């Protein structure tokens, strides 16, 4: 990722913490038999991948070949798109995860396509439009998630409450927004 080193490290720290929390939540939850539980586990796995992936990309984005990033995030994107098409329950949630994975793939490919590792908006006509659409999506998602976080019944973000997963989602939405700003 491009930008000030301090911003990259802060982004990596926040997204790694969110991804680690999602991974721990995935590990703690029992193997569910019913579909809503499966969707929760699927969501935890996707959010762990995105959080830890954003942290890795923020720190080592240009040193890892774009093809590796494309496979890491492209395969889950396709899986979420197919799952959304075949299962109406949780469709919007799966589509959100697919958009996130596709945005990560796009970010990696944009960084690789840029001369000298830096992406210039004039290099491609479609890039500014796609980047703008993704910025709008993740900006709106972050605002919506933030307002939901403010409306938690207890108003607390203590570990184990309903507010912490919302805070993790907010962190990843803001992290994706920040990554897209550097494309």
Is pTM, for the whole model, over 0.85?
no
pLDDT by residue (tens digit) across 38-87?
A: 777 888 888 889 989 888 888 877 788 888 988 999 999 999 999 889 88
In terms of pLDDT, which residue wins out, 107 or 155?
107
112 class by beta-carbon count within 10 Å (0-12 exposed, 13-18 middle, 19+ buried): middle
Which domain, by its residues, includes 156? 5-181
Quote the radius of gyration of the chain (alpha carbons, Å). Answer: 16
CB count within 10 Å of CB 107 equals 25
CB–CB of 177/139 below 8 Å? yes
User: How many structural domains is the chain composed of?
Assistant: 1
- Asked whether the predicted pLDDT for residue 4 surpasses 50, the reply is yes
Give the whole-angstrom CA distance, residue 55 versus residue 22. 14
């Amino acid at each position: 990722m491009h930008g000030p080193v301090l911003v990259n490290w802060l982004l990596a720290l926040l997204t790694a913490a969110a991804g680690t929390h999602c991974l721990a939540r995935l590990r703690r939850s029992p193997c569910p038999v019913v579909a809503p539980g499966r969707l929760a586990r699927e969501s935890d796995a996707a959010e762990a991948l995105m959080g830890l992936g954003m942290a890795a990309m923020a720190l080592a984005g240009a040193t890892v070949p774009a093809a590796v990033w494309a496979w890491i995030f492209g395969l889950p994107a396709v899986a979420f798109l197919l799952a959304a098409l075949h299962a109406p329950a949780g469709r919007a949630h799966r589509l959100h995860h697919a958009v996130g994975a596709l945005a990560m793939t796009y970010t990696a490919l944009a960084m690789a396509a840029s001369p000298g590792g830096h992406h210039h908006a004039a290099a491609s006509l479609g890039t500014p439009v796609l980047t703008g659409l993704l910025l709008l999506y993740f900006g709106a998602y972050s605002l919506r998630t933030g307002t939901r976080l403010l409306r938690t019944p207890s108003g607390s973000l203590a570990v184990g409450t309903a507010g912490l997963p919302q805070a993790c989602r907010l962190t990843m939405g803001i992290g994706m927004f920040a990554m897209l700003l550097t494309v």
